[in-house]
Amino acid sequence: MNGVELFGMQIPAVAFYAVGLMIAFGGYSLWLASKNKKKVQAWLEQNPNAAKVYIKNKIWALGSGSLGVYSVDGEARNMVMMFSEGTKTGFYLTPGAHTITVGYQKTRASLVYQSVNTTYEPSKLEVEVEAYKTYQLSFNEKEEHFDFEEKN
């Protein structure tokens, strides 16, 4: 068997590769987060009156709901100024009118067979934001529509 002896135990070589890949991926993720934070900070210095929009996702015992922002004013998601604060995520907008393309997917766990996924088609929202204000973007599952409202 190919492997390495470590502390008197035979460890398969593939375990070292797996650990190495996890460490490399973790380092890459930290580097990307740092790079994005710098990009957002530079953008905020140029747009100090930006509005903040929180994305409301749902997690419950038997499933979850995930709201995805696909574009803002035709700019792809990777060009949107995203932020993360602990478990909350969101993006910044300059004051004025914007078109946000969003979608929603919910997953409900099944006790009998397999999870049930429901995907709602992307929708375009026309929104107006004011300087320095905070907003929340969410999906109303009962009425099946997106909500954009000022947050106090």
DSSP state of 74: T
The two structure tokens encoding residue 85: 């604060």
pLDDT tens, residue by residue, 57-67:
888 778 889 99
The two structure tokens encoding residue 33: 């987060």
Of 3-17, 46-60, 84-98, the range with the lowest mean pLDDT is 3-17
pLDDT band at 93 (very low <50, low <70, confident <90, very high): very high
User: Given this model, what pLDDT does residue 3 score?
Assistant: 67
Return the closest-CA partner of residue 43 out of 75, 66, 88, 86. 75
Is 1 a residue whose pLDDT tops 70? no
The two structure tokens encoding residue 120: 């709602």
pLDDT tens, residue by residue, 24-61:
888 878 887 777 788 888 999 999 999 999 999 888 77
User: Given this model, what pLDDT does residue 50 score?
Assistant: 94
pLDDT band at 97 (very low <50, low <70, confident <90, very high): very high
